[in-house]
A = this chain, B = another copy of it.
Amino acid sequence: MPDGPFRDVVVIDLTRVLAGPFSTMLLGELGARVIKVENPAGGDDTRQFVPFWNGQSAYYLSLNRGKESIALNLKDPDDRQVFRGLIRRGDVLVENYRPGTLERLGFDWATLQQLNPRLIYASVSGFGQTGPWKHKPAYDMIIQALGGLMSLTGFPGWPPVKAGTSIADLAAGLFTVIGIASALYHRERTGRGLRVDVAMLDSLISLLEHAVMRYAVTGEAPGPIGNRHPSIAPFEVYDTADRPMVIAAGNDAIFHRLCEALGLERLAEDPRYRSNQLRVQYADDLKTDLEAVLRTNKADHWLAILDRAGVPASPVQSVAEAVEHPQVQARQMIVRAGELRMVGNPIKMDAFPDQPTRRPAPELGADGEGIRREFLTGEGCSSGPRRGDNVPAEED
């Protein structure tokens, strides 16, 4: 498993599906030991999600590599005792049930704190632990619609469309990791755990900075932004002879280099294109003029020319091309767990090696026996982290 800053942190992971497992996967990438607690009746729902890889869900495998798995029925007295052992000796508890679920199982925040005052308890949910909508169900697409992102994506006059990845789930996972990491720092300084509450809706709103700012200033909601920069030109997607590409001429100097590279010096002299402000005003004309040349050859041809000219540009790549891109490969952003390729760790740290492989995700309950022994009876304590400091006496 990866070594990292959280090498001495034990995460008790009750999460399922996407937002929660993504957050605990990242904690694992940063060195934490992640103990996934799954229901014995099938475990995480994503274990059933297609496509499969060697008999296991690739979805599950990708998000749960390197974790340990124990199957616990939190309504069963013996299993509850094991869970209490985990809480007592773990550092972080993460769950993404609907608000109130863990409470109804007898593990409210006061009880958890009593079991372990150093515990950090993070919840990730659709709408958060407070507010009038806290009990409502949420899916990524619901949050993208409700949170306004869908209204910003796509072209004016076209139907609204969601972003092509589950950004509300993933953003909530990222904010949860930030909450947990900063709470772990706080605990080192104070000795106290705390409660973290992250919502998908809040997280998505946090990614709308620019649009919220425009609304706050003008009182009007911004519409879909298409593929054109609102205040820089030329800065959008252009057609070539074979495939679309982005050209991003962020200032006058780049615009002049672009014109020269395309043999379009006359455009740099055109009164419509003399300043960025004018180019934004005449962006449609400019697109037509540029595409008249760009359509005469393939994107690769133009990309080589623009690269030499120092003009930022990129083809609109498929996921296959992105994965195989030399920079993505050089950064080791694609790793292997067993034979399955998956996304690596985007947080590069000089103090820790960036490993090319990961331990595969566990079968349901694969590590149960060892974990029960270690956390229930006290055996194995000597090899565990956070051994007994600040752990209150057994009360039942």
Chain A contact residues, CB within 8 Å of chain B? 4-6, 8, 18, 22, 26, 30, 49-53, 58-59, 61-63, 109, 127-134, 136-139, 141-143, 145-155, 158-167, 170-171, 174-175, 177-179, 181-186, 188-189, 192, 194-199, 201-203, 205-222, 224-227, 229, 231, 235-237, 244-246, 248, 250, 307, 310, 312-323, 325-328, 330-331, 333-334, 340-343, 346-351
Give min CB distance, A135 to chain B, whole Å. Answer: 10
B163 & A149 in contact (Cβ 8 Å cutoff): yes
Question: Given that A130-B330, A186-B5, A214-B51 are known contacts, is A151 also in contact with B312, CB under 8 Å in the complex?
Answer: no
Q: What is the CA–CA distance of A214 and B175 in the complex, to the nearest angstrom?
A: 25
A316 & B153 in contact (Cβ 8 Å cutoff): no
A217 & B51 in contact (Cβ 8 Å cutoff): yes
- Tell me the interface secondary structure of chain A in the complex: mixed
Question: Given that A154-B164, A319-B212 are known contacts, is A205 also in contact with B346, CB under 8 Å in the complex?
Answer: yes
Question: Given that A206-B346, A213-B342, A346-B206 are known contacts, is A314 also in contact with B145, CB under 8 Å in the complex?
Answer: yes
Closest to A179 in B: B347
Q: What is the CA–CA distance of A231 and B347 in the complex, to the nearest angstrom?
A: 32
Report which of B198, B208, B312 forms a contact with A138, defined as CB distance below 8 A: B312
Please, which residues of chain B bring their CB within 8 A of the CB of A250? Answer: 137, 139
B174 & A227 in contact (Cβ 8 Å cutoff): no
Give min CB distance, A256 to chain B, whole Å. Answer: 16
- 16 more contacts with CB within 8 A, not counting A53-B217, A59-B213, A153-B153, are A26-B178, A51-B218, A127-B327, A145-B237, A148-B318, A149-B164, A150-B237, A153-B161, A154-B164, A162-B227, A164-B224, A166-B210, A199-B346, A201-B331, A216-B323, A219-B320
Closest to A325 in B: B146
Please, which residues of chain B bring their CB within 8 A of the CB of A134? Answer: 327
Report which of B182, B227, B245, B320 forms a contact with A6, defined as CB distance below 8 A: B182
B327 & A201 in contact (Cβ 8 Å cutoff): yes
Give min CB distance, A141 to chain B, whole Å. Answer: 5
A136 & B312 in contact (Cβ 8 Å cutoff): yes
B161 & A226 in contact (Cβ 8 Å cutoff): yes
B215 & A320 in contact (Cβ 8 Å cutoff): yes
B178 & A174 in contact (Cβ 8 Å cutoff): yes
Please, which residues of chain B bring their CB within 8 A of the CB of A219? Answer: 320
Q: What is the CA–CA distance of A226 and B141 in the complex, to the nearest angstrom?
A: 11
Centre residue among A58, A146, A307, A351 by max chain B CB count within 10 A = A146
Please, which residues of chain B bring their CB within 8 A of the CB of A330? Answer: 130-133
Report which of B109, B132, B194, B246 forms a contact with A141, defined as CB distance below 8 A: B246
Report which of B62, B145, B199 forms a contact with A246, defined as CB distance below 8 A: B145
Please, which residues of chain B bring their CB within 8 A of the CB of A229? Answer: 141
The 8 closest A-B pairs by CB, nearest first: A152-B164, A5-B186, A148-B322, A131-B330, A181-B181, A153-B164, A163-B163, A221-B318
Please, which residues of chain B bring their CB within 8 A of the CB of A211? Answer: 164-165, 319
Give min CB distance, A30 to chain B, whole Å. Answer: 5
Q: What is the CA–CA distance of A149 and B170 in the complex, to the nearest angstrom?
A: 14
